[in-house]
Amino acid sequence: MSTVRLKLSDLPARRWLPSVNGSGGATEVPVLGKDP
C-alpha cells in the first residue's frame, strides 16, 4: 500500500507542476494535502 500511495502522489505532483502555469495548480494543492 505504501508504494501505491507514493505512486498516487507522484501522479498529482507531476500534474501540479505544469498546472501551476495554468489555474489547475490551486485545485491540485488541496488534493496533495489530503493524500498524506
**So what's the pLDDT on residue 13?**
53
Instruction: Report the predicted TM-score, pTM, of the whole model to 2 decimal places.
Output: 0.15
Which pLDDT score, from 0 to 100, does residue 10 have?
60
Number of alpha carbons in the 13 Å side-chain half-sphere of residue 20? 7
Q: Where are the domains of the chain?
A: 2-34
Q: Which of 36, 9, 15, 4 is nearest to 27 (CA)?
A: 15
d(CA 23, CA 35): 20
Res 24: pLDDT: 47
Tens digit of each residue's pLDDT, the chain (36 residues): 455 555 655 655 555 555 445 554 444 555 555 554
pLDDT given at position 25? 45
**Helix, strand or coil for residue 36?**
coil
